[in-house]
Amino acid sequence: MAQILVVDDSSTVRNEVGDFLKANGLSVVTAVDGKDGLDKLKAHPSIKLVVSDVNMPNMDGLTMAEKIRNEHKNGAVGIIMLTTENSPAMKERGKAAGIKGWIVKPFNGPVVIGTLKKLVN
């Protein structure tokens, strides 16, 4: 089964998003920051989509996305940011890193789930 990696330093968000995705039939792996996200992505080749926060300790979500594309040479996995950030400059940086989409918190599961399923498939 295709897996989704949820990366957020807040366990509240990891639980909320993870539980919602699982309840909608998706398999979920979680990570606590960008570094952990890279490790989990490497350890779980079946991950097809990453849903990540931007502002996190140790490594932020945009840096993680850039490393996924540039250092790990992984262009196949889809990346979506789930964040309170909404600045055009950050979105531009995200686009340049091949991010597929941007969700402004708080997470609204029903609005997002249909699109996520299409991206995973």
Partner 1 sequence: MPQVVSKVLVLDDADAHFDSLKAFYEECGLVGIRPQQTGAANVMAILKSNVDLGGIMLYENFGGKGLELAREIHASRPELPIFLRRDAISSVAGLHEKDAGMFRCAYTLADLQQLRATLDSSIFSRVYPNDLVRGISEFTRNSLQSLFSGCDIDIETPYLVKDRIIYGEVFTMISIESHWCRGYMMFQTAEEAVLGLIRRAAGKEGANWTFRELNNVLGELTNLVWGSFKNRYVGHDNGNHNLQTQVPIIINHRSSYISFGSEDPQLCFKYVLRERNRPDAIPVPIFQRFVFNLNWSPEAFRENPSIETLVESGELELF
Residues at the contact surface with partner 1, assessed by CB under 8 A: 10-13, 55, 80, 83-89, 91, 94-95, 99-108, 111-112, 115-116
Residue 56 Cβ vs partner 1, minimum distance, rounded to whole Å: 10
Cα angle 56, 61, 86 (rounded to 5 degrees) comes to 90
Considering the complex, state which of residue 25 and residue 106 has its C-beta at the smaller distance from partner 1. Answer: 106
Cα angle 2, 93, 80 (rounded to 5 degrees) comes to 20
13 and 103 in contact (C-beta within 8 Å)?
Answer: no
Residue 85 Cβ vs partner 1, minimum distance, rounded to whole Å: 7
Considering the complex, state which of residue 43 and residue 111 has its C-beta at the smaller distance from partner 1. Answer: 111
101 phi/psi in degrees, rounded to 5: -165, 170
